[in-house]
Amino acid sequence: MAAVPSSFLGTLFVVSADPSVISFAGGLPSSAILDAAGIAGAAADVLADAGPAALQYSTTDGYLPLREFIADRYRRRVGLDVTAANVQIVNGSQQCLDLIAKCLVDPGDAVAIEAPGYLGAIEAFSLYEPRLSAVPVDGAGPDLAALERVVARDRPKFFYAIPNAQNPSGLTYPDGARRAVAELLDGSETLLYEDDAFGELFFDGRPRRPIGADLPGRAVLSGSFSKVLAPGMRCGWLVAPGEVLAQFNVAKQAADLHSNHFCQLVLHRWLTTHDLDEQCRRVAGVYHENCRALGDALDERCPELEHTEPEGGMFLLARLPTGVSSLALFDEGVRQGVAVMPGPPFFLEGGDDVIRLNFSNTDPEKCAEGIARLSRAIANLA
Amino acid sequence: MAAVPSSFLGTLFVVSADPSVISFAGGLPSSAILDAAGIAGAAADVLADAGPAALQYSTTDGYLPLREFIADRYRRRVGLDVTAANVQIVNGSQQCLDLIAKCLVDPGDAVAIEAPGYLGAIEAFSLYEPRLSAVPVDGAGPDLAALERVVARDRPKFFYAIPNAQNPSGLTYPDGARRAVAELLDGSETLLYEDDAFGELFFDGRPRRPIGADLPGRAVLSGSFSKVLAPGMRCGWLVAPGEVLAQFNVAKQAADLHSNHFCQLVLHRWLTTHDLDEQCRRVAGVYHENCRALGDALDERCPELEHTEPEGGMFLLARLPTGVSSLALFDEGVRQGVAVMPGPPFFLEGGDDVIRLNFSNTDPEKCAEGIARLSRAIANLA
């Protein structure tokens, strides 16, 4: 990632524990939407029914009924032609970043990634020493000319993309851009790696068609229960063609034998005794309110900031006035009692002209006050 | 690992699900010792007390009170000079194998490993393309001349050892061998990687001193709750010097952000409301009975097999009569209704003259019948 002063992470850590600082810098789901009572009931039922078997070692691929649930939901919601045989359970979709890179990337291999892109992906991939190529994204989707150039020139092993309510930008690829990406990658040597962490959190509730649906055999898709049910249980999945999954399964077994079996049973119990659609609507409803309040506050207090208009997810991206550095704004913001996430960690280079704002953990009242503080911080720097 | 016919794993999988086959081939803890009711109570209490916070994202290093419990126990039981700052929680100690190799091994680097050695370690390390050097072990501990030669010649990044009731052999390093290994590695470039999966399962209940206690700053130690509490929760740890742990923590964060937070809270609750020593005594007591029955059955029915005399753990190793192949015995055993684990997967080369026998999941009655069948299988091959 682009260079960040080492003091930044330390300050971020300190301010995240300081209640006097209103934070838009975080990335947690709202605790208010986590169903502790429902999970408690599911855990009790699982242990009463399965007993010690719920605590035993299990298979590397994961709990079959959970994998069936995930495959069924993809078939039903977005018409993806998959079965449980295409699904591998992992420790949150972060583990897919590590293991896909482990399977596919040798030092010096090219990997294409969005700019801005997900920080955790840049970190995970970097440990395998790839050459990372940036593909700019905006409201129209990825820069197709740039993607075409990167694919032809660098022959990346895969293009890593978050087409649904991206972290950090909140951008969603329009349908036309999805088809164009599929056409562009079709017949190339580049696999599509589609990270769908936020696809259940569209404010309009409408599922978006995965790009991989039009790239049979040439796309992998990751997802997670972290954003809608229980991030601390670290339960996500990879959906992939058989030959990719076979290799991935070997890496998963070497990495940690299998994912938490007890929590797979608990999540499956919750999913079969509760309404996941209703839960997603509830979460998306809260985030939609928060997002609207954040956008309104920005438009009112900081009209000089151009910002994305998310259709879902937990983040938006704002472009700063010329001459205002996001890293300087982070420091000045903390002095004013507000924390934002500076841009550089989301870029391979540059990015100091944007900030990421989280809205999953802001309520409309705190939000207005936070953006008023941000406005003062910007005025002090301009 | 040494070559194994691809049909072997398929057959192993089939026989493990066939109740007519008495299996000594497995490696699971006995389900009878897993405290499902105690875990159910701990889970209910955790969710009642912490609510949604128990389901949230958490820190990469792990739940501090659990890390403190682990450090305290090492200080108290074996005099290891460590604090929570030296402890990182992982997804079972298998994850240490992956991440230590990821941190320390570049392709072509040397790694020293016991022969026989733990299959899962050979698999995990191999993905990082090291040169593996074998150090033979027997009842006297590792072959010190071989270890010295390997350290001087190959300069391995680390020596991976299971000094306590090893998988697959059941061997425990005598105290003198521990001191000799520490002296031999002291001042070398080779780190000690001590895997202590079975140190709580000595039949005499006496804790053995970690070799790393005499190699301050030059040893890492992994452990796990899998063998005594809940393997399916995938909760283990690495104890390491600060500079190793800092690098390990970066790899852990990239791998999966953090280990299951909910289950860390549940295990900590169980540990602070139950008696772990008593639980370990209970488990070790059952395994001791089973081990004695297995040894007696072997001595009576298969006196031609030389076998180890484990002081703890879940496995013993038996040497076959000249000319009997462990892979052939596996096949003939299945025909006779008994499954054993052939030797080659535990060796870099060779190993077809030994078999591993598990005793954590055998009871004395089934054991006698299983060994009678084994005796017939050997007779058919000799």
pLDDT digits (tens, 9 = 90+) for A287-304: 999 999 999 999 999 999
Quick one: closest CA in A to B90, which residue? A256
Q: Does B94 touch chain A (CB under 8 A)?
A: yes
pLDDT score of A89: 98
For residue B253, is it within any domain?
yes
| Mean of pLDDT over chain A | 95
Domain match, B265 and B317 both: no
Q: Please report which helix (H) or strand (E) contains residue A69, including its range.
A: helix A64-78
Q: A-contacting residues of B 228-247, CB under 8 Å?
A: 229-234
Band of residue B15 on the pLDDT scale cut at 50, 70, 90: confident
pLDDT score of B84: 98
A187 neighbors A159 (Cβ within 8 angstroms): no
Is the CB of A260 less than 8 angstroms away from the CB of B263?
yes
For residue B47, is it within any domain?
no
Domain match, A148 and A212 both: yes
pLDDT score of A163: 98
Q: What is the mean pLDDT of residues B266-283?
A: 98
For residue B323, is it within any domain?
yes
d(CA A198, CA A168) in angstroms, rounded, equals 11
* Chain segment B167-199, per-residue pLDDT in tens: 999 999 999 999 999 999 999 999 999 999 999
The last residue of a domain, from among B229, B252, B273: B273
Domain match, B265 and B331 both: no
pLDDT score of A363: 85
| Whether pLDDT at B1 is above 60 | no
| Whether pLDDT at B3 is above 60 | no
| Whether pLDDT at A16 is above 80 | no
pLDDT score of B181: 98
Range of the domain at A287: 6-34+278-381
Q: B-contacting residues of A 27-86, CB under 8 Å?
A: 28-29, 31-32, 34-37, 39-40, 43-44, 47-48, 50-58
Q: How far is residue A343 CA from its own chain's centroid?
A: 16
A252: CB partners within 8 A, 6+ apart: A60, A88, A90, A95, A99, A258
Residues of B in Cβ contact (< 8 Å) with A88: none
Q: Does A192 touch chain B (CB under 8 A)?
A: no
Band of residue A6 on the pLDDT scale cut at 50, 70, 90: low
Domain match, B211 and B115 both: yes
Looking at the partner chain, which of B51, B94, B260 has a beta carbon nearest the beta carbon of A263? Answer: B260
For residue A1, is it within any domain?
no
Is the CB of B254 less than 8 angstroms away from the CB of A98?
yes
> Is there a cis peptide before residue A168, judged by omega within 30 degrees of 0?
yes
Residues of A in Cβ contact (< 8 Å) with B233: 55, 260-263
Domain match, A77 and A15 both: no
Q: What is the mean pLDDT of residues A87-112?
A: 97
Band of residue A5 on the pLDDT scale cut at 50, 70, 90: low
Is the CB of A52 less than 8 angstroms away from the CB of B36?
yes
pLDDT score of B295: 98
Q: What is the mean pLDDT of residues B12-20?
A: 81
d(CA A118, CA A163) in angstroms, rounded, equals 12
B294 neighbors B316 (Cβ within 8 angstroms): yes
For residue B43, is it within any domain?
no
CA angle A375, A378, A381 (to 5 degrees): 155
pLDDT score of B382: 82
| Whether pLDDT at A99 is above 90 | yes
Residue A13's CB is within 10 A of a number of other CB atoms, namely 10
Band of residue B381 on the pLDDT scale cut at 50, 70, 90: very high
Domain match, A362 and A244 both: no
Query: How many beta-carbon pairs below 8 A join chains A and B?
Result: 176
Band of residue A11 on the pLDDT scale cut at 50, 70, 90: confident
Looking at the partner chain, which of A44, A102, A233 has a beta carbon nearest the beta carbon of B44? Answer: A44
| Whether pLDDT at A2 is above 90 | no
Q: What is the mean pLDDT of residues B157-162?
A: 98
CATH code of the domain in which A352 resides: 3.90.1150.10
Domain match, A213 and A71 both: yes
β-bridge mates for residue B132, sequence order: B111
The last residue of a domain, from among A273, A293, A317: A273
B314 neighbors B167 (Cβ within 8 angstroms): yes
Domain match, B182 and B329 both: no
Domain match, B263 and B231 both: yes
Quick one: closest CA in B to A63, which residue? B232
CATH code of the domain in which A129 resides: 3.40.640.10
d(CA A365, CA A25) in angstroms, rounded, equals 17
How many domains in chain B? Answer: 2
Domain match, B235 and B359 both: no
Quick one: closest CA in B to A120, which residue? B254
Domain match, B326 and B353 both: yes
At A259, the amino acid letter reads S
| Whether pLDDT at B2 is above 70 | no
For residue B248, is it within any domain?
yes
For residue B207, is it within any domain?
yes
Domain match, B223 and B349 both: no
User: What is Dmax (Cα atoms) for chain A?
Assistant: 63
How are strands ordered across the β-sheet holding B131-138? B87-90, B236-239, B219-224, B191-195, B158-161, B110-115, B131-138, B141-142
The last residue of a domain, from among B238, B273, B308: B273
CA distance B19 to chain A (A): 17
Is the CB of B52 less than 8 angstroms away from the CB of A37?
no
For residue B337, is it within any domain?
yes
**Percent over 90 (pLDDT), chain B:** 93
Quick one: closest CA in A to B129, which residue? A106
pLDDT score of B244: 95
Is the CB of A233 less than 8 angstroms away from the CB of B260?
yes
